[in-house]
Amino acid sequence: MQVFKIPESIKKGARFTFCPGCDHGIIVRILAELIDELELKEKTICATSIGCSVFLYDFLNIDCIESPHGRAMAEATGVKRARPDKFVFTYQGDGDFASIGLAESMHGALRGEKVTGICINNTTYGMTGGQMGPTTLLGQKTTTSPMGRFTGTYGYPIKVAEQIALCDGTAFSARVAVDSIAHINQAKKVLKKAFEIQLKGLGYTFVEFLATCPTNWKMTPEEAHDRVKNEMIPEYPLGIFKDITAEDK
């Protein structure tokens, strides 16, 4: 019996162009599996973003619009308001979602847009070669914080899932990781929950994924996963920060 196959909504013969060991691949696969499981392919429109996540439409066999940097939530809003019966999600990095696009992201949440935001937090700008991003941890060395991020110059990292949970239009906000089998399974469940809440039309749903960037962290993939476990999760705790369906019970 075949217990694993490439998801149907992955394009035939698609090969990820992410760096070796990058968690983006796992997240895209989870996403594709859920699109299959929930039979969303025929009603989904995705707003992709700029950065490593830009080539999503090369991998997923769904309708996608590429958004200018930071504007994925605005595109998603436009799509959803024009076609309220469609299933709409954004797929963005932390720089796109929480730095250049923070205004769009926050206001989308505040308006309670019935879309799902997916933010891949790898604490750096990956595509451009590892600069300091909004989620770069204190002490973390990047090409633009070579002495490490210290607050006097660089300020503090943003805890995205917690911030989004504070918005009244948010129906669901959670943070997950994909560094271990347990976390991957949990992440899929959480993302499924978010998708289901969107399908019920209850408000904005958001999932932040802690992810690795082995290339720019200058680590092997497994060292990078250790960093997620030992450095990121203590700062960015995993969990569901808001779930209006849980409060109903």
Partner 1 sequence: MDNKVLVKGNFAIAQAALNAGLECYFGYPITPQTEIGEYLSSEMYKRGLGYVCAESELAAINMVLGAASTGAKAMTSSSSCAVSLMQEALSYACSDEVPVVLVNVMRAGPGLGYIYPAQGDYNQAVKGGGNGDYKLIVLAPSTVQECIDYTYKAFYLAHKYRNPTMILADGLLGQMMEPAVFGEYPYPEIDNSSWALTGAKGRDGRAIFSVATAEDKQNQHIYDLFAKFKTIEENETEWEEINTEDADILLVAFGSMTRNIKAAMTELRKQGLKAGMLRPITLSPFPSKRIHELAQKVHNVVVVEMNMGQMVNDVKLAVNGQAKVDLVHRPVGQWLSVEEITAAVNNILEKNYASV
Partner 2 sequence: MAHIVIDENRCKSCYICLNTCPKGLIKKSQKTSKLGDYLVEFVDPKKECVGCALCAARCPDMAIVEVHK
Q: Give the binding site for partner 2 (CB under 8 A).
A: 1-6, 10, 15-16, 18-26, 29, 181, 184-185, 214, 220-222, 225
For the CB of residue 186, give the shortest distance to partner 2 in the complex, in Å.
12
Quote the least distance from Cβ 84 to partner 1, whole Å. Answer: 8
With CB cut-offs between 5 and 8 Å by kind, which of partner 2, partner 1, none does residue 226 bind?
Answer: none
Annotate each residue in 87-126 with x if it binds partner 1 (CB under 8 A) or - if it does not, as one string: x---------------xx--x---x---------------
Stretch that binds partner 1, among 20-28, 60-68, 117-125, 153-161 (CB under 8 A): 60-68
Under 8 Å CB-to-CB from 166, ≥6 apart: which residues? none
Q: How far is the CB of 196 from partner 1 (least distance, A)?
A: 18
**Does residue 93 contact residue 84 with C-beta atoms inside 8 Å?**
no
Nearer to partner 1, 43 or 189 (CB): 43
**Closest CB to partner 1 among 80 and 183?**
80
Residues in CB range of 248: below 8 A, 6 or more apart: none
For residue 192, the partner it binds in partner 1, partner 2, none, with Cβ less than 5 to 8 A by kind, is: none
**In the complex, least distance from residue 130 CB atom to partner 1, rounded to whole angstroms:** 20
Q: How far is the CB of 28 from partner 2 (least distance, A)?
A: 9
Binds partner 1 (CB under 8 A): choice among 1, 3, 82, 182: 82
Closer residue to partner 1, CB minimum distance, 44 or 122: 44
Other beta carbons less than 10 A from residue 12's beta carbon: 7
Long-range contact list for 125-133, CB < 8 A, 24+ apart?
Answer: 125/51, 125/93, 125/95, 126/19, 126/22, 126/51, 126/52, 126/93, 126/213, 126/215, 126/216, 127/50, 127/51, 127/52, 127/54, 129/216, 130/213, 130/215, 130/216, 130/217, 133/93, 133/94, 133/95, 133/99
Kind of pairing between the strands at 116-121 and 204-210: parallel
- Supply the Cα-derived Rg of the chain in whole angstroms: 17
Q: Which of helix, strand or coil describes residue 206?
A: strand
Strand, helix or coil at 244?
A: helix
Binding footprint of partner 1 on the chain (CB under 8 A): 9, 11, 41-45, 47-48, 54-55, 57-58, 60-68, 71, 73-79, 81-83, 86-87, 103-104, 107, 111
